[in-house]
Amino acid sequence: SFAILITTVLVNLAIWVGINKPYTVVESRYPVQSFSFNPFKKHQSPFEQHVFSAEELEADIKILAPKTKSIRLYNATNGIEQIPAIAERYGIKVIAAAFLDSKDPKNKNREEVYSVIKEASFNNNITHVIIGNETLLHKTVPEQELLNYVNEARQVLSTPVSFAEPWDHWVRNPDMASKVDFLAVHILPYWAEIHIDDAVDYVFEKYDLLKKLFPYKHIMIAETGWPSDGPQRGAAKASQANQAKFIRDFIRRAEARGIDYNIIEAFDQPWKNETEGRVGEHWGIMTADRTEKFPMSGPVLEDPNWKYWAASSSLLGMVAISLFLYRRKDIKIIGQIFSVIMFQA
Enter the pTM of the model.
Answer: 0.87
Mean pLDDT of 91-112: 92
What is the rounded CA–CA span in Å between residue 77 and residue 111? 8
pLDDT tens for 179-215 read 999 999 999 999 999 999 999 999 999 999 999 999 9
What is the rounded CA–CA span in Å between residue 293 and residue 247? 12
Predicted pLDDT of residue 286: 97
What is the rounded CA–CA span in Å between residue 5 and residue 209? 61
pLDDT tens for 259-291 read 999 999 999 999 999 999 999 999 999 999 999
pLDDT at 125 > cutoff 90: yes
DSSP designation for 304: T
Local confidence band at 328 (pLDDT 50, 70, 90 cut-offs): confident
Local confidence band at 104 (pLDDT 50, 70, 90 cut-offs): confident
Q: Would you call 278 exposed, middle or buried from its count of C-beta atoms within 10 A (0-12, 13-18, 19+)?
A: middle
What is the rounded CA–CA span in Å between residue 33 and residue 251? 8
Residues paired with residue 72 on neighbouring β-strands, in sequence order = 36, 95
Local confidence band at 118 (pLDDT 50, 70, 90 cut-offs): very high
Residue of 172, 173, 201 lying closest to 187 (CA atoms) = 201
Mean pLDDT of 15-29: 84
